[in-house]
Amino acid sequence: MTRWIALPVLLAVTLAAPVSAQVPAPLPVTVIKAGRLIDPETGTAAVNQVIVIEGERFKAIGANLPIPPGATVIDLSKLTVLPGLVDAHTHMGMTYKEQPENNYYYLTYVTDSTPLRAIQAASNGMQLLNAGFTVVRDVGNNALYVDAALRQAIEQGWLPGPTVIPSGPMIGSTGGQFWPTPEMYKQHNIMFPEYIDANSPDEIVRAVRENMLFGARTIKLCIDCKPWGYSVDDIRLAIREAATGGCKVEGHVQTAAGAQRAIDAGIYIIAHGNALTPEHHRQMAEKGIFLAGTDTPFTAYRATEAAFKRAVDNLRDAWEKKVPLTFSTDFDYWNERMKDAKTGRWLTRGELTIEFLRTWKTAGIPAADTLRAMTINGYKAADIIADRGPIKPGFFADLIAVPGDPLADVDALRTVVFVMKNGMVFKRDGVMAPADFFHPGPVRMPNGRWTR
Ligand SMILES: [Zn+2]
């Protein structure tokens, strides 16, 4: 009953409030002096640029711009400034291990709870941002929507992190990537939340809608994880349904036949390059289908020499055929060998991610093309390029800085010493300083709802 009385009183007070009380505070202005500013689209750099940032967005960029009074000035005149990097296919909320799982992620799913995996994802997100990754497509194997929760938490301002493009659980035909026993499948419902089984058109539509309802910004399909995978019509249906919620579709592909069905259906991104032939690359280039090849380098902690050679050859052929390439890792594992050989210190998730540059260098991809894959193509694959990624007026103010020149040697990206996200400084002089990101509440999205 009290609400019946309180609401009109509240309304009356709100309506009677003077207009002057509602004038918003002025936005903080930051000016960055950039020694060199790279435009990855053209593969060129301009010297001595001034970047003016108002609140969360870029306001103006150019040489000799006046510095607005009261602005905070950040001097990066000895550094190369560029847009943030993108990992177009990773898994921040899944960490399978050699002990006790023997790298078997079924067991990770049984032993690591959704809350634990959410905290792992938050840590991984900060480590990736520290290495210059301002956008991450996180595509499946995320327990009960860990990826979507992380995106929401970062959007609300609870913690710093990259812009997360979550897919929610991967959608597949019966069994997904699992081969469960009948009792685990039928009596214990083990597929969900790691996968959503969707077989008929009605089930596919429902699965796509549920993921979008729970925060997905892209839809991930398992095209051919089972011999009874998706047909061209199934994939087209998922693409149509995803479009109603503003999502593009990525297909996990592991067979040549599956790759062909995904291409024929006009999918947006194909994940994993292993099964793709030169003819697939030719068709992908023709149709503008992005490749997230997940090109794992051979290291002390991962892969084999033979697998690395295949990854290098596949990436090289895709580049020669002019497939739109993205930088992608499929990172979701950990072991005791992930240490710096000289210091014995643990490698961070950011360092492990940037190590994938090794595949690109070995394949002989020019630095400018690698950088374009890590930025412009990544923003397009993440479907955010309308307002985030490039350093342009009106866009969200994300940028990084390095001492070297990534257009001359892409390994310069291994030393990111400055990171700005949404106009706020996350890393400065090579040290994380995220204090300003922490708040007691959802300060950037106070109504607590999705921003879709
Ligand atoms: Zn993956």
Using one digit for the tens of pLDDT, what is the confidence trace for 52-75? 999 999 999 999 899 999 999 999
Interval between CA 232 and ligand 1 midpoint (Å): 21
Interval between CA 222 and ligand 1 midpoint (Å): 10
Q: Is 447 left (phi over 0), alpha (psi -120 to 50) or beta?
A: alpha
Interval between CA 330 and ligand 1 midpoint (Å): 4
Q: For residue 134, give both structure tokens.
A: 């301002």
Determine which helix (DSSP H) or strand (DSSP E) holds 340, and give its type and residue range: none
Interval between CA 393 and ligand 1 midpoint (Å): 34
Q: For residue 187, give both structure tokens.
A: 């009596």
User: In terms of pLDDT, which residue wins out, 444 or 192?
Assistant: 192
Nearest Cα to Cα of residue 296 among 363, 343, 369, 219: 363
User: Looking at residues 275-296, what average pLDDT do you find?
Assistant: 98
Interval between CA 292 and ligand 1 midpoint (Å): 9
Interval between CA 236 and ligand 1 midpoint (Å): 21
pTM: predicted TM-score of the whole model, two decimal places:
0.94
Interval between CA 271 and ligand 1 midpoint (Å): 7
Interval between CA 143 and ligand 1 midpoint (Å): 14
Q: For residue 352, give both structure tokens.
A: 């492990």
Confidence of residue 441 (pLDDT cuts 50, 70, 90): confident
What mean pLDDT value characterizes the chain?
Answer: 93
DSSP SS3 for 248: strand
CA–CA separation, 47 and 229 (whole Å):
52
Q: What is the pLDDT of residue 13?
A: 42
User: Looking at residues 254-274, what average pLDDT do you find?
Assistant: 97
Residue 376 clears pLDDT 70, i.e. is over it: yes
Determine which helix (DSSP H) or strand (DSSP E) holds 317, and give its type and residue range: helix 305-320
Q: Is 191 left (phi over 0), alpha (psi -120 to 50) or beta?
A: alpha
Interval between CA 132 and ligand 1 midpoint (Å): 21
Interval between CA 252 and ligand 1 midpoint (Å): 8
Q: What is the pLDDT of residue 372?
A: 98
Interval between CA 406 and ligand 1 midpoint (Å): 27
Residue 418 clears pLDDT 80, i.e. is over it: yes
Interval between CA 263 and ligand 1 midpoint (Å): 19
Interval between CA 160 and ligand 1 midpoint (Å): 23
Interval between CA 90 and ligand 1 midpoint (Å): 6
**Above pLDDT 90, what percent of the chain?**
87
Interval between CA 105 and ligand 1 midpoint (Å): 12
Confidence of residue 15 (pLDDT cuts 50, 70, 90): very low
Interval between CA 141 and ligand 1 midpoint (Å): 8
Interval between CA 411 and ligand 1 midpoint (Å): 24
Residue type, 24: P
Interval between CA 158 and ligand 1 midpoint (Å): 27
User: Looking at residues 392-397, what average pLDDT do you find?
Assistant: 98
Q: CA Rg, the chain, in Å?
A: 23
88-102, 262-276, 347-361: lowest mean pLDDT where? 88-102
Q: What is the pLDDT of residue 220?
A: 98
User: In terms of pLDDT, which residue wins out, 24 or 206?
Assistant: 206
Q: What is the pLDDT of residue 452?
A: 62
Residue 214, classified by CB atoms within 10 Å of its CB into exposed (0-12), middle (13-18) or buried (19+), is: middle
What's the gap between Cα 101 and its chain centre? 26
Interval between CA 1 and ligand 1 midpoint (Å): 52
Determine which helix (DSSP H) or strand (DSSP E) holds 154, and give its type and residue range: helix 146-156
User: Looking at residues 197-211, what average pLDDT do you find?
Assistant: 98
Q: What is the pLDDT of residue 443?
A: 85
Q: Is 384 left (phi over 0), alpha (psi -120 to 50) or beta?
A: alpha
Interval between CA 269 and ligand 1 midpoint (Å): 12
Instruction: For the chain, report the end-to-end CA distance as a whole number of angstroms.
Output: 34
Confidence of residue 21 (pLDDT cuts 50, 70, 90): low
Interval between CA 230 and ligand 1 midpoint (Å): 18
Interval between CA 399 and ligand 1 midpoint (Å): 26
Interval between CA 139 and ligand 1 midpoint (Å): 6
Interval between CA 295 and ligand 1 midpoint (Å): 11
Residue 381 clears pLDDT 80, i.e. is over it: yes
Secondary structure letter of residue 26 according to DSSP: P
Residue 87 clears pLDDT 80, i.e. is over it: yes
Interval between CA 9 and ligand 1 midpoint (Å): 54
Residue 17 clears pLDDT 50, i.e. is over it: no
Interval between CA 247 and ligand 1 midpoint (Å): 18
Distances (CA, A) of 407 to 42, 198, 272, 364: 11, 45, 26, 14
